[in-house]
Structure 1
Amino acid sequence: MKLESRVAIVTGAGGGLGRSHALLLARYGAKVVVNDMDEAAAKRVADEIAAAGGEAIPVAASVTDEARVAAMIEGVMSTWGRVDILINNAGILRDKTFAKMSLADFRLVMDVHLMGSVICTKAVWEIMRQQQYGRIVMTTSSSGLYGNFGQSNYGAAKMALVGFMQTLALEGEKYNVRVNCLAPTAATQMTHGVLAEEALQRLDPRLVSPALLPLVSEQAPTRAIVCAGAGHFARAHVTLTKGRYVGGSADAGERVIELWDEIGDRTDEIVPAYGFQQAERELASSGYSAPATKR
């Protein structure tokens, strides 16, 4: 697979997972924008890419700074004339139990992970639509998909990115803009102190980055959630069980309790193609057969 004609932006690429992503994309021929808040770190990675024969430019900017992000995209367009790939990787941790967590720390993590990804994506969205090509990867996490103790802020932000991806994938489909999620497990600045030292030794970020290739290729899927770590790769899905029609009688709540196991039976569960598929199925079970939406 070659990416010679492609321009990629990787946020938070001054070290760890972002650096690994940037190096891999450059190795496959992409021109890479190495974004990081640390100017020296971004330059080191860009120089590393150049030394290996690739093309890269470092850009120091916080993903939460709309003006700096806009200037970054303006610079990329001036230099290379297009943006094909955006890897929303930048992030921080502020781990504490919810009881001990300040609202400031909750808001900060949401701002960096969620709003940082929104700001960067918004900055390239119209470019990708106009050029009829785009590949966007959101960085989600098992903390969002399944929960992790002490990470309510991080988990909320990471699951929000899944919802963001689901809708953008639908809106970008006719413009050949494909949007996916990567849920990595890697030894980075963010995971030191969270994972055991022996585990960290097996979790080299380079063992995650290959998961990017199918997500940024010409044949990329859309709405995929890929989980990667220690050289292992898996897919996660948000599913919907077949359920049971209960109706609206006075004892409906008691009936839901009574049928709880049946309602949750995962036999014949589906991955809905869009959110309103839930409503359509619910209405169909009640005997309603007209379209669920006006669109």
Structure 2
Amino acid sequence: MSEARFDGRVAVITGAGRGIGREYALLLASKGAKVVVNDPGVGISGENTDSGVASAVVAEITAAGGDAVASTASVATAPGGQAIVNAAIEHYGRIDILIHNAGNNRYAPLTEITYEDFDAVLDVHLRGAFHVLRPAFPLMCDAGYGRIVLTSSIGGLYGNNRIANYAASKAGIIGLSNVAAIEGADHGVLSNVVIPAAITRLADGIDTSSYPPMGPELTAPTAAWLAHESCSVTGEMLVTIGGRVARAFIAETPGVYQPSWSIEEVGRQIDAIRDIRDPWILPVVPSAHVDHITKSFAIAMEGNAHVS
């Protein structure tokens, strides 16, 4: 198998100054990509800035013979997202890869979380994804090529305590990526979600002594493959945690058809409704939305034919 390289490709990576994003930037740059290292250098809660964070990664890349430029604009606003994409166009004339990795968190139980803290996290994770995707996507479509990698989390898949803002953001990113995958399919633009877990500054205060090796470098190859021209999937989710890479997916049970229902009947049938032995797994691309409706309608039509 030949080496996977990114020669001639331009990558924009948000949140690339530290942790997982830094590993993405270093890996892609080492394989020939020109990289926009975006990071305003904020704290975990999204406050304060440090322009030296992005510049340090750029210096590391250039010292190793790579090509990179720093961007300190914030994904939290539409003008910031535009400025990040503009940095790629102004310096390199194109954008081939968009990896949205920027993140923050403000922990609070659902009974106490403030609207300010809810919005502050959505602004970076979910709205931030849109703020960079919206200006980048048409450029990719016009060029006939693009690789989009958005970042979700097991918190977005399964939830957890004290992260309603984070979980809602990460779940929303899955839907956003799916739309980009559907709309980009005819233009050579693939969009997928990476679900990474690693020990970074976000793990401060957590006892990780019993964890397996979970450095951020373990997550980078998965995101890089999704960003590579050889990527063969779109509208999917890849999990990477502690050296394990897996696919996460959404499925439905076949369910139960009846021509009419009562509250009591739903309760009586709940075990059959929840039976997962023969699940529907509908690929986002080319037609999960349509397939869901078509299969559901076919069951209803067949059921009605039997009744009549």
Q: TM-score, normalising length from structure 2? A: 0.89
Gap regions ≥5 residues in structure 1: 290-295
Over residues 2-52 of structure 1, what are the superposed CA-to-partner deviations in whole Å (9 max), with x where a residue is unaligned?
Answer: 111110011011111110110011111111000001310000000100111
Which residue is equivalent to 2:275? Answer: 265
Instruction: Kindly indicate whether the alpha-carbon contact (under 8 Å) linking 1:187 and 1:200 is maintained by their aligned counterparts in 2.
Output: no
> Structure 2: which amino acid aligns with 1:208?
T
Q: Does 1:204 align with 2:238?
A: no
Per-residue displacement from partner, 1:74-123 (whole Å, max 9, x unpaired)? 23212211100001000101111101111111111111100000000011
CA distance in 2, matches of 1:84, 1:237: 26
User: Residue in 2 aligned with 1:292?
Assistant: none
Q: Is the 8 A contact 1:186 1:200 kept in 2?
A: no
2:243 corresponds to: 231
Aligned to 1:293: none
Paired-residue identity, %: 35
State the match for 1:34 in structure 2.
37
Where does residue 156 of structure 2 map in the other structure?
A: 144
Alpha-carbon distance between aligned partners in 2 of 1:206 and 1:219, rounded to the nearest angstrom = 21
- Please tell me whether the aligned partners of residues 80 and 131 of structure 2 are also in contact (alpha carbons under 8 angstroms): no
Distance 1:118 1:96 in 2: 25
Count of paired positions: 286
AA aligned to 2:180 is L
Cα distance in structure 1, aligned partners of 2:40 and 2:259: 54
- For residues 216 and 290 of structure 2, what CA distance do their matches in structure 1 show? 37
Deviation at 1:201, TM superposition (A): 7.3
Within the candidate set 116, 140, 149, 2:128 is matched to 116
More deviation in 269-278 or 124-133?
Answer: 269-278
What is the deviation of 1:199? 4.8
Alignment correspondent of 1:8: 11
Asked if the contact 1:187–1:201 (Cα under 8 Å) also holds between the matched residues in 2, the reply is no
- SS of 1:245's equivalent in the other structure is coil
8 Å Cα contact 2:84/2:132 also seen in 1: no
1:54 aligns with 2:66: yes
Q: Point out the more displaced range, 68-77 or 114-123.
A: 68-77
Matches within 5 A, 1:205-224: 205-220=216-231, 221-224=233-236
Distance 1:14 1:280 in 2: 46
Q: Quick check: 1:163 aligned with 2:181?
A: no
Q: Letter of the aligned partner of 2:40 in structure 1? A: M
Whether the 8 Å contact between 1:246 and 1:255 is mirrored in structure 2 is: no
Gaps of 5+ in 2: 42-50, 304-308
